[in-house]
């Protein structure tokens, strides 16, 4: 079953497997201060959550819920990755 799923995922773009297909897009772009809980619930069971998150990170998506994460949560990941890259570069310079 899992292998069949992987084959399927390789045949089609990840967006075709999004749990949010057919869900009101406004849910994923809540007004400032509004709840993100419902959108995150949809994302929780999404099989392409990681693809979605990486897409948003790669493309600098500044608004909305992507991969089950808010703008603030994605900013934190970008910051952590930038710090990790800087630390790695620093360690190769001093090695
Ligand atoms: S993680 Fe959420 S926003 Fe991304 S495709 Fe899945 S349901 Fe949609």
Provide the CA 58 distance to its chain's centre, in angstroms: 10
The pTM score is 0.84
Under a CB-based contact definition with an 8 Å cutoff, are residues 78 and 59 in contact? Answer: no
Q: Report whether pLDDT(1) > 50.
A: no
Closest protein CA for atom 3 of ligand 1: 66
CA of 66 to the centre of ligand 1 (A): 6
Under a CB-based contact definition with an 8 Å cutoff, are residues 36 and 70 in contact? Answer: yes
The number of the ligand 1 atom at minimal distance from the alpha carbon of 66 is 3
Under DSSP, the state recorded for 64 is S
Radius of gyration of the chain (CA): 16
Residue 64 CB–ligand 1 contact under 6 Å: no
How confident is the prediction for the chain on average, in pLDDT? 91
Q: Report whether pLDDT(2) > 60.
A: no
For residue range 3-20, list pLDDT tens digits in order.
555 555 568 899 999 999
Q: Give residue limits of the domains in the chain.
A: 14-94
């Amino acid at each position: 079953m899992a292998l069949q799923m992987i084959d399927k995922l390789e045949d089609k773009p990840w967006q075709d497997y999004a749990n949010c297909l057919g869900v009101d897009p406004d849910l994923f772009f809540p007004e400032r201060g509004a709840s993100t809980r419902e959108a995150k619930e949809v994302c929780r069971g999404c099989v392409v959550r990681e693809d979605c998150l990486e897409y948003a990170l790669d493309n600098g998506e500044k608004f909305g819920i992507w991969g089950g994460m808010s703008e603030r949560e994605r900013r934190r990941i970008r910051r952590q990755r930038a710090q990790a890259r800087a630390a790695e570069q620093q360690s190769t310079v001093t090695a």
